[in-house]
Amino acid sequence: MSSSSEKEDQDREDGVLLDSDEPQAQDDKREGGKGEEGGLKKELSLFNSVTFVVGSIVGSGIYITASNTVKYSGSIGLSLVMWLLGSLVAVAGGLSYMEIATLIPSSGGDYAYLREMYSFGRRGERKRERRGEEETRGEEDLTLKDGDGEGFFVTFGSLLGFLFGWSTVVLIRPASNAVQLLTFGKYFSHALLLVGGIWGGATSELVTILAVISGIILTLINIFSVKLTAHIMNISGIAKISCMIFISCIGVWTYAKGDYSDNFDNVFDGTSTCIGDISLALYSVLWTYDGWNSLIYTVEETKNAEKNLPKGILIGVPIVTVCYLFVNWSYYISLNKHEILSSEATALTLGNVTLGSIGVLLISVSVSISTLGTGLIGMYSGSRVAYVLARDGSLMNTFSGLHNQWNTPIQAILLQSILTLLYVLVGNIGHIINGLSPVMWLFYCLSFIGLLIMRYTKRNIKRPFKVWTPVPMVMICSALFLITVPLVFVSGERWYILLGLILVLTGAPVYLLLVHNKYRPAVFTRISSMITDVSNKIFYTSSFNNTEDITIEYSYQ
């Protein structure tokens, strides 16, 4: 690393961000980004933003969460309210993230945001003011002396950024992938049994075996062919939309025949009054809406981003909401409450009740393709997060290895694959979602709090887009509700929730021992280098040379 780069990194850790410093330029230097001059081209339109939001949100959730939503809500009426509430949360959260994205236009997402938000202080502001006047003086002259002014100093952004990256690599991404693979196993097993002349519930062993096999296949696709990955993603997108349209048409057809259930006669009968159950219903709904913040990764490539990104949220999320409400309406109009509650694959039950074996076959194949594509995307993105963290010095350097022929991060892909298959062995989709959701909302909460912090620490910086202040405040309260209420009031899921939070906390000692230069034993560096050399020879890869970049210094004063 050059001396100027070391200086910039130390300034960032000391809470300094010069007016001339471009956040993206620094992010590019740190993560090996694109060139410093032209950057990424602004080619994405408002239409692209809308389709990006829709494509990012719609996944397997709408096919697996209906039963849990009704189960924990207690009634059809409250479950529909949950779906509308989920839409409002997605819009509010998305708009809050748009302010962050236009203020910190970095492609690093939450990883970059948390690093920036939580590294601040008056000492840094004073240093910035004095640097322009005393640029030729030594660094020691730029620090505050006793009596030089009141000040505070906060710089734990790198730790929070690392914890987010750590959680994404070891929990958020692989656990999400496991949900997709298990959903694939549930739906595809019925297709196999139907082709074999058997109709009935697939055994958990068959579901797990199919999930593991599909995970191995997706791993090989990610390793050998980025182009094939892209083609499968496109096919998956078509399958997602086609399946939702097909299910909605079934509901309309059932209603037109007059052969519908009585779910809407007493729509709020059985409504749950347990706050813990309501929070779990929200988990299922918000899991299905997750992806509302996906536009943060397009801010550098979107034309007129300060206007088109918020519009993308305000148009895209309602489109998804309408689709979700139609699909759920089809479930509720075609199936009675008992059929919904007893089904782990609601769309399959719908197909069987209304169209028989042909409905089961069409829906199972469509959902299987959809979930495979979503799982492939998840494994792709998760491996890239691990790769970037390793290249940034926040994970072992071996995970920054790229294959010399295929140019894919094999070690990072294998890491994601192994972790995904371990979560598959949990077997229960509900347990995985309930353990994963508090972790996701913990980091969302930190970002919303960071947004309010930047209203003070960056109050003089022009904001291309500014969300109404009560919006992030409401989101903070919502996030705290989703983190604490299930932990306190839902004893049956407490272990899974605690396990997810514990996995986040394990990142702290990893950071101190492996990343933070002050506490990292020299033997760890030697072992890491040895493992990197061996893995590069085995997988025919070349790792990013970050021998100097891996040092992250703090200056707690």
What backbone phi and psi angles, to 5 degrees, belong to 506? -65, -15
Q: Please enumerate in sequence order all residues whose Cβ is within 8 A of that of 182, keeping only pairs 6 or more positions apart, or say none.
A: 207, 208, 211, 424, 427, 429, 432
Amino acid 122: pLDDT: 52
Q: Please enumerate in sequence order all residues whose Cβ is within 8 A of that of 354, keeping only pairs 6 or more positions apart, or say none.
A: 250, 253, 254, 334
Percent helix, percent strand, percent coil in the chain, to nearest 5: 70, 5, 25
Q: What angle do CA 525, 526, 529 make, to 5 degrees?
A: 85
Longest dimension (CA), the chain: 84
Positive or negative, the CA dihedral 179, 181, 182, 184 is positive
**Residue 154 parent element (H or E):** strand 153-155
What backbone phi and psi angles, to 5 degrees, belong to 151? -165, 165
pTM recorded for the entire structure: 0.78
Give residue 427's region: left, alpha or beta (phi > 0; psi -120 to 50): left
Question: Each residue of 395-444: pLDDT tens digit?
Answer: 788 888 888 888 888 999 999 999 999 999 987 888 888 888 999 999 99
Positive or negative, the CA dihedral 107, 108, 112, 114 is positive
Q: What angle do CA 179, 204, 340 make, to 5 degrees?
A: 70
Tokens of 113: 């945001």
Q: Of the candidates 240, 258, 264, which has an alpha carbon nearest to the alpha carbon of residue 323?
A: 240
Cβ neighbours, 10 Å, residue 60: 28
Asked if residue 202 lies in contact with residue 149, where contact means CB atoms within 8 angstroms, the answer is no
> What one-character DSSP code corresponds to residue 265?
T
Please state which CATH number belongs to domain 50-128+172-542: 1.20.1740.10
Cβ neighbours, 10 Å, residue 231: 12
Asked if residue 390 lies in contact with residue 535, where contact means CB atoms within 8 angstroms, the answer is no
**CA–CA separation, 172 and 186 (whole Å):** 21
Cβ neighbours, 10 Å, residue 73: 26
**CA–CA separation, 80 and 425 (whole Å):** 32
Give the CB-side neighbour count of residue 452, counting CA atoms within 13 A.
14
Where are the extended beta strands (E) located within 381-508? Answer: 402-403
Mean pLDDT computed over every residue of the chain? 79
Contacts 24+ apart (CB under 8 A), 402-409: 402/541, 402/542, 402/543, 403/223, 403/539, 403/540, 403/541, 404/540, 404/541, 404/542, 405/540, 406/223, 406/224, 406/225, 406/226, 407/226, 408/222, 408/223, 408/224, 408/226, 409/383, 409/384
Positive or negative, the CA dihedral 542, 418, 223, 39 is negative
**CA–CA separation, 239 and 18 (whole Å):** 48
Residues of the chain with pLDDT under 50: 1-39, 123-153, 547-557
Amino acid 217: pLDDT: 93
For the chain, give the number of residues.
Answer: 557
Q: Of the candidates 115, 114, 124, 104, which has an alpha carbon nearest to the alpha carbon of residue 14?
A: 124
CA distances from 49 to 45, 288, 391, 526 (A): 6, 19, 29, 46
Amino acid 502: pLDDT: 92
